[in-house]
Amino acid sequence: MASSSLSLLAILVALLALAAEADKNTTHIHFFLHNNEGGLNPTVVKVVGSRSQSSFGGIYVFDDPLTEGPDLASKLIGRAQGSYVVAAQDPSSALLVTANLVFTERMYNGSTLALLSRLSFDTPVAELSVV
């Protein structure tokens, strides 16, 4: 369960397009988030285990690179730093995601977006709330 949740989180956040309105101006920001659970350099760690049979109650912390293209070797433009909690008793339904997206390139260098959202697995495309 945790494994599929992580993969899905990576895909969903990678597809996030931000639309910020300012004087009827809209900005679309596309990036790819690389969430790596295993190997020598995991970008996510489990910090609280679950006492239930399912993964309900588990807490994970991540620090994932954000890149311009889908390849991890493409230009690094920021990091996604935060946590997610398996907050639904049916762990296949949703996660609680809290994260900062920290940008490090060009006009967005130093800017952050804060996410506080339910990540639902019930729909083919998920939307995450930016606060």
Ligand X SMILES: *[C@@H]1O[C@H](CO)[C@@H](O)[C@H](O)[C@H]1NC(C)=O
Residue ranges that bind ligand X, judged by CB under 6 A: 23-25, 104-105, 109-110
Choose between 52 and 104: whose C-beta lies nearer to ligand X: 104
Closest distance of CB 64 from ligand X, Å: 19
Choose between 107 and 131: whose C-beta lies nearer to ligand X: 107
Closest distance of CB 100 from ligand X, Å: 16
> What is the Cα–Cα distance from 68 to 109, expressed in whole angstroms?
14
- Tell me which long-range contacts 41-44 makes (C-beta under 8 A, separation of at least 24): 44/6
**With helix as H, strand as E and coil as C, how does 50-111 read?**
CCCCCCCCCEEEEEEEEECCCCCCCCEEEEEEEEEECCCCCCCCEEEEEEEEEECCHHHCCC
Closest distance of CB 23 from ligand X, Å: 5
Choose between 100 and 104: whose C-beta lies nearer to ligand X: 104
> What is the Cα–Cα distance from 58 to 3, expressed in whole angstroms?
12
Choose between 24 and 28: whose C-beta lies nearer to ligand X: 24
Choose between 24 and 51: whose C-beta lies nearer to ligand X: 24
Token representation of residue 85 = 């909690």
Closest distance of CB 105 from ligand X, Å: 5
Token representation of residue 26 = 């809209």
Closest distance of CB 24 from ligand X, Å: 6
